[in-house]
Amino acid sequence: MLRGFRGNHWRGRDGKGRSTWRRGWVLAVLALLLACVLAFHRQIPDDFGNFGSLIETFLPWFGLAVPVLLVLALLRRSATALVALLVPVVIWSVLFAPLLPDKSGGSYDFTAVQHNIDANNTSVASTTRTLMQADPDVISLEEITGPALPTISQVLDGTYRYHVVEGTVGLWSKYPLTDTGPVDIKIGWTRALRATVHAPQGELAVYVAHMPSVRVHFDGGFTANQRNRSAEALGEAISHESLTRVLLLGDMNGTMNDRALAPITMQLRSAQGSAGAGFGFSWPSSFPSARIDQIMSRGITPTAAWTLPQTGSDHRPIGAHFEL
């Protein structure tokens, strides 16, 4: 087998008389198409089924096509395909390689943990105790149900004396909360809130949000229009925030690459992207494939970001350290 990839057999012609530079054009075109998807994903239209947003949600995974094309290029003994394959490799590396090294480090004086606790969670108490293991200063939760709230409060209230719950989202804090209230994200019921946290280092505005869910349908594509409208509304609320220090915790139902979240991501930076290691995928919990849970900030410095152990939820909890 190895003899087929060296010497004259590699440089020779195939059964149709084509040299190594004249065969494998189909593979070369596929490699260049992959490169175009990676480089120009913002230009892929969302008009049909929000297809562009769907691609952006799972954009890092497109890198898996590279080893597949590499094997096919070697089997085809095509120099043209191998050269073309360098293009998506370089583009993927520019986009995502900076996320891979561990960027954590430095001191911190504030820790936040975010978790979609899952309305169908049957182990709410143990899930909540898992979040406390990181010793966070604030804990944000989404999908809080009426039956689950007493259990959550029983576990958290002793350490987190201050809390606010609006609709199905809540914030528990070691420090006093003021100016608490719901944030209208245009979905007809409450799934976002804002509070001022009075930390020892000063005040910061904390937003907790749960963007509407998205669905993938074979007949309708990636149905995300309601999520997109909510992102615009939340972005508008954050743009009018009077405090310099801002922290957003929530289930965004979208990744930092998703153009639909631009009203938010243009104003705030991701703790994972700034101070994490790797992609930090958080959903689904059984096989995390996308980071749709986010901790984002403005006016404070993230120094570490990580994913917590699996709980009874269909999401993984995430945490971040900050220097205020």
Crossing angle between the packed helical segments 25-39 and 79-96, to the nearest 10 degrees? 10
β strands within 128-201, DSSP E:
138-142, 162-166, 169-173, 177-182, 192-199
Find, among 148, 226, 241, the residue nearest to 189 by Cα: 226
Provide the pLDDT confidence category of residue 251 given band limits of 50, 70 and 90. very high
- Looking at the predicted structure, is the pLDDT value of residue 221 above 50? no
CB-based contact 246:205 (threshold 8 Å): yes
Residue 284, preceding peptide bond in cis (omega within 30° of 0)? yes
Query: In b/e form, how buried is each residue of 143-172, taking b as 16+ CB within 10 angstroms?
Result: bbeeebeebbbebbeeebebbbbbebbbbb
Q: Which helix (H) or strand (E) holds 125?
A: helix 124-132
* pLDDT at residue number 1: 41
Task: Convert the pLDDT of each residue in 48-69 to its tens digit.
Answer: 656 777 888 899 999 999 999 9
* The CATH classification of domain 110-323, taken from the options 3.40.50.720, 3.90.950.20, 3.60.10.10, 3.30.1370.10: 3.60.10.10
pLDDT value of residue 126: 98
Lookup: tokens for 222: 């990636």
Q: pLDDT band for position 76 (50/70/90)? A: confident
N- to C-terminal Cα distance for the chain?
Answer: 60
Alpha-carbon separation of residue 113 from 90, 139, 140, 243, 316 (angstroms) = 34, 5, 6, 21, 11
pLDDT digits (tens, 9 = 90+) for 16-44: 555 677 788 999 999 999 999 999 998 88
- DSSP per residue, 46-84: -TTTTHHHHHHHTGGGGGGHHHHHHHHHHHHT-HHHHHH
